[in-house]
């Protein structure tokens, strides 16, 4: 999460429009077979294995396009980091 950011702009497990749009974009580009899974903003509908797969996909995208020349997250990277955090198992445990 970007420094100084707060979780209150993102509903867990529902996604904000900005987060959902980026998740759809990355999924369609990197794992099109999973695009149907993220069509809804409700992450609670995904299985643990599906969320893990999406976190791995987002990590690949973070390394490819989410870091600046100084290896610090750029704006895209901060949103990707938020998504990785939102897909973490502790948000979905009973």
Query: Per-residue pLDDT tens for 9-45?
Result: 444 456 888 999 999 999 999 999 888 888 877 777 8
Whether residue 85 lies inside any domain: the answer is: yes
Which pLDDT value is given to residue 94? 56
User: Token pair for residue 90?
Assistant: 């502790």
Whether residue 2 lies inside any domain: the answer is: no
| pLDDT greater than 60 at residue 54 | yes
Whether residue 13 lies inside any domain: the answer is: yes
**What is the tens place of the pLDDT at every residue in 60-79?**
999 999 999 999 999 999 99
Tell me if the pTM is above 0.85.
Answer: no
Give the integer Cα–Cα distance in Å for 12 and 50. 17
Whether residue 1 lies inside any domain: the answer is: no
Which pLDDT value is given to residue 11? 42
In sequence order, the 6+-apart residues with CB closer than 8 A to the CB of 9 are 16
Domain enclosing residue 74, as ranges: 7-91
State the total domains in the chain. 1
């Amino acid at each position: 999460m970007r420094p100084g950011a707060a979780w209150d702009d993102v509903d867990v497990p529902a996604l904000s429009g900005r987060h959902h749009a980026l998740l759809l974009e990355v999924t369609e580009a990197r794992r099109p077979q999973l695009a149907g899974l993220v069509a809804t903003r409700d992450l609670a509908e995904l299985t643990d294995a599906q969320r893990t797969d999406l976190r791995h996909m987002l990590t690949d995208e973070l390394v490819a396009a989410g870091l600046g020349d100084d290896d610090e997250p750029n704006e895209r990277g901060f949103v990707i980091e938020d998504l990785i955090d939102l897909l973490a198992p502790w948000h979905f445990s009973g």
